Amino acid sequence: RGARDGDMMRCAYHGLAFDGSGACAHTPFTGQPLDLARVEVLPVVERHTGLWFWPGDADKADPSLIPDFSFLDSDRPLHRGHIRMDASYELVTDNLMDLSHAEFIHRDSFGVNGSLLTCGQHEVVQEESGAIWNNWTMPDSDPPAWAVPMLPEGAKTDQWLHMRWNAPSSLALFIGLAKSGTDRKDMVVPPMADPHILVPETGTSTHYFYTHEPTPESFALLEKAFLEEDHPMLHAQQQAMGEADFWDLKPVILPSDAGAIRVRRRMMQLRRAEEGASA
């Protein structure tokens, strides 16, 4: 553990200071560098209001692989959130890439009022870049509960929920809600775009980073959805699976799992390619 000291990081235990190359540039005992002391250095790029680091082979670090989160570069005020999830990053990814779970787990928070089941149109699209989109469109549908007060009684809406995944675990959710029949031009609320970025902590735990509007109502809604609804379910899944491999458990695959399964297969391909390159 340590803290930034000018352009160096200083160890909180013995006070050794390390420069950007990882070398010990100063010791408080002699005021001199200490050649024998060195820390690991990871390539880091500052982009889209975040720090992106590469934990693998530094020679393979490629900033062009950083996903497009340029929607975060606006002046729109946002609160940055973080949750530690007691589940592997792949289980959390499964959750995010199957938006139909909103009809059940999130029924009391931001569920979509049955629209996914009654009129939802689902497609999964993979781009040449490798990005995978899991898209739901609900035309001429009943509005979600949170939007009902904004509309005339009985009004219909056109809704869309698009989740984008970039390897290994950077996701972005795009949400739209417009008055029905207006070709998505008469928006009930401005289109929303939010990051859902996952960083593995261990094989069974994940750091989950996200943003939301800086209002008490938004904070309370997301805290309920993530901590009271998603987290208990994902933790229970992880406990049931233990250390078993996902595919060895022979999971039942539902049509709504198409996006999540496409991501898992893509990750298998990437791992095999990486293993082959290092063999």
Going along the chain from its start, the domains and CATH numbers come out as: 2-41 (no CATH), 45-57+65-278 (3.90.380.10)
What lies within 8 Å, CB to CB, of 92 at 6+ separation is: 85, 169, 198, 206, 208, 234
This prediction has a pTM of 0.89
pLDDT band at 279 (very low <50, low <70, confident <90, very high): low
Q: Which of 48, 173, 11, 38 is nearest to 98 (CA)?
A: 173
pLDDT computed for residue 220 by the predictor = 85
Tokens of 111: 């569920």
pLDDT computed for residue 215 by the predictor = 84
Greatest mean pLDDT among 12-16, 53-57, 117-121 lies in 12-16
- Alpha-carbon distance 143 to 156, whole Å? 6
Average pLDDT over residues 85-113: 88
| Res. 180: pLDDT tops 80 | yes
Average pLDDT over residues 266-277: 91
CB 67 within 8 A of CB 48: no
pLDDT computed for residue 76 by the predictor = 83
- Alpha-carbon distance 138 to 156, whole Å? 10
Look at the chain and count its residues: 279
Tokens of 121: 């149109």
| Res. 196: pLDDT tops 90 | yes
Buried b (16+ CB within 10 A) or exposed e, 89-119: bbbbbbbbbbbbbbbebbeebbbbbebbeee
Average pLDDT over residues 188-217: 92
| Res. 160: pLDDT tops 80 | yes
pLDDT computed for residue 111 by the predictor = 67
Phi-psi domain of 218 (left: phi exceeds 0; alpha: psi -120 through 50; beta: other):
alpha
What lies within 8 Å, CB to CB, of 130 at 6+ separation is: 166, 167, 266
Average pLDDT over residues 77-86: 92
Q: To 10 degrees, the CA torsion angle through 186, 192, 193, 197?
A: -150
pLDDT computed for residue 224 by the predictor = 86
Count of alpha carbons within 13 angstroms of residue 187, beta-carbon side: 7
CB 62 within 8 A of CB 43: no
**Whole-number mean pLDDT of the chain?**
92
| Res. 194: pLDDT tops 80 | yes
| Res. 175: pLDDT tops 80 | yes
pLDDT computed for residue 245 by the predictor = 94
| Res. 278: pLDDT tops 80 | no
pLDDT computed for residue 178 by the predictor = 95
CB 131 within 8 A of CB 230: no
**What digits encode the pLDDT tens for the residues 103-158?**
888 877 776 677 888 888 999 999 999 999 999 999 999 888 888 888 999 899 99
